[in-house]
Amino acid sequence: MLLLIDIGNTNITIGFYYKGEIRNSLRLRTIVQGRDSAEYSYILTGVISHHKMQKPKGAVICSVVPEVTSFLESAISNSFGIMPFHVNQNSKTGLTFQLKNVETLGADRIANAVAAHNLYEGNLIVVDFGTATTFCAVTEKGEYMGGAIMPGVELSALALAEKTSKLPLVELKPYNNILGKNTAENIRTGVILGHAGAVERIISEIIIETGKDFTVIATGGLVDLMKPYIKAIDYVNHLLTFEGLILFYELNS
């Protein structure tokens, strides 16, 4: 059994890969201070015991929150006697990076690119709807060309609430009419449709700049909210990052 951990700015997602399937994944809020390695050990061993799974033979982590990474690494080492692999650009990925500062590239974006290149054909754009919405362009030859980052849809709504005196923080959910009839509806339609329009514009500009055709793969915690409003998306893969972690482990173990 392989332990998969994706440490994001908002959530920590943990998956268990065994018998050819990703099973029993769970999501925790990312807490930079207040949760130590002992608590993570309790969580991991508890889930494995509850689901009667075998002890993991390996583990792989992609993290964009270094403050949390060490606690989970210690929890895995203390609980299972193994040291996890960490996704980074210096390990085997099957990709070549056409970037100026490749060391700043997020581990989650590397995992997404590895998965997309191995699971789909042709030139690819990966859009990850998380705390930030990120874009990665990968050629059919495995060349990581670059990408873009914009504030995520929930972050945009939060910024409106925090930086204005009267606008409330609204629940983001599908809307019925573009012309909202109250403040909450106005914010909801503006944030969601505005975000969708920005995503489609960035995809369009990548195509124009590179002169290439792309297949667009979407993932991330907010992908189901955004997918109905973005025609450019070809495939949704909720497990894309986990798929990348599995492939990364297989390349480097």
Task: Convert the pLDDT of each residue in 104-135 to its tens digit.
Answer: 999 999 999 999 999 999 999 999 999 999 99
Residue 122, number of CB atoms within 10 A of its CB: 11
Q: Are residues 100 and 212 in the same domain?
A: yes
Q: Which residue has the tokens 């970037």?
A: 99
Please give the full DSSP string across 41-54, using - where no structure is assigned. HHHHHHHHHHTTPP
Is 91 part of any domain?
no
Q: Are residues 123 and 77 in the same domain?
A: no
Residue where a domain stops, chosen among 51, 86, 121: 86
**Of 245, 194, 240, residue with least CA distance to 219:** 240
CA distance 54 to 59: 13
Residue range(s) defining the domain that contains residue 23: 2-86
Q: Are residues 26 and 101 in the same domain?
A: no
Quick one: pLDDT at residue 21? 92
Asked if residue 45 has pLDDT above 80, the reply is yes
Q: Are residues 74 and 135 in the same domain?
A: no
Asked if residue 38 has pLDDT above 80, the reply is yes
Is 252 part of any domain?
no
Catalytic residue (choose from 36, 108, 224, 234): 108
Tens digits of per-residue pLDDT, 51-101? 888 899 999 999 999 999 999 999 999 999 999 999 998 889 999 999 988
* Distances, alpha carbon 182 to alpha carbons 31, 38, 44, 176, in Å: 35, 47, 45, 13
Is 253 part of any domain?
no
Q: Are residues 80 and 120 in the same domain?
A: no
Instruction: Name residue 198's amino acid.
Output: A
| Domains identified in the chain, total number | 2
Is 197 part of any domain?
yes
Q: Are residues 109 and 162 in the same domain?
A: yes
Residue where a domain stops, chosen among 60, 86, 112: 86
Backbone torsion region of residue 123, taken as left when φ is above 0, otherwise alpha when ψ lies between -120 and 50, otherwise beta: beta
The pTM of this model reads 0.94
Tens digits of per-residue pLDDT, 178-236? 999 999 999 999 999 999 999 999 999 999 999 999 999 999 999 999 999 999 999 99
Q: Are residues 206 and 160 in the same domain?
A: yes
* pLDDT bucket at 159, cuts 50 / 70 / 90: very high
Q: Are residues 194 and 152 in the same domain?
A: yes
Is 14 part of any domain?
yes
In 95-131, beta strands by DSSP E: 96-97, 124-129
The CA-based angle 155-161-167, given to 5 degrees, is 140
Quick one: pLDDT at residue 25? 83
Quick one: pLDDT at residue 177? 87
Quick one: pLDDT at residue 66? 92
Q: Are residues 101 and 58 in the same domain?
A: no
Our answer to whether residue 108 is catalytic in this structure is: yes
Is 251 part of any domain?
no
Residue where a domain stops, chosen among 38, 60, 86: 86
Contact by Cβ (8 Å): 163, 177: no
* pLDDT bucket at 244, cuts 50 / 70 / 90: very high
Q: Are residues 29 and 124 in the same domain?
A: no
Helix (H) or strand (E) holding 166: none
The most distant pair of C-alpha atoms in the chain lies apart, rounded to whole Å, by: 58
CA distance 78 to 71: 11
Asked if residue 24 has pLDDT above 80, the reply is no
Q: Are residues 118 and 210 in the same domain?
A: yes
CA distance 72 to 36: 8
Cα 2 off chain centre by: 19
CATH code for the domain in which residue 58 is found: 3.30.420.40
